Amino acid sequence: MGTGYANRYFETIERIVGRDLLHRLLQTFTALPPGPADEALKAAILNHPEFGPIARNITKLWYTATWFQLPSTWRENFGALPEDRTFVPYPYAYAESLLGPAVGAHPAGAKPTGHQSWTLPPVYLPIPPECE
């Protein structure tokens, strides 16, 4: 919701994969056990041959504002979808994508940092202790 594109992205995904497939994916997600769902999410969705590539594409759509064509193995196993191709569904969404804030930067070419900002040293985000 923070990007302002939630409804548009939902409509885009539904148009590409179809209402039935998206509904089954969402039902599987809502059926996950409460609490930390890392392993359950991996088992039920991310490692699922049909849902996994779609779920990863949804994540990439949020972060990059780009829908990437589903892998050829997915298309061979489940059929090619007429709307499935690599594209930016909403050109202005790129500037609001989550990639820039996630890496502590601005989206290249979309939100410049300002006059002579290149003269300043980069500001590095702290590394959480669990990642060291």
Contact 81, 46 (CB under 8 A): no
> Which pLDDT band holds residue 15 (cuts at 50, 70, 90)?
very high
Contacts of 14 (CB under 8 A, 6+ apart): 22
| pTM score, whole prediction | 0.77
Q: Is 67 helix (H, G, I), strand (E, B) or coil?
A: strand
Q: Domain boundaries in the chain?
A: 6-103
pLDDT of residue 77: 96
Q: Is 87 helix (H, G, I), strand (E, B) or coil?
A: strand
Q: How far apart are CA 52 and CA 45, in angstroms?
A: 5
pLDDT digits (tens, 9 = 90+) for 71-96: 999 999 999 999 999 999 987 877 77
pLDDT digits (tens, 9 = 90+) for 23-37: 999 999 999 888 776
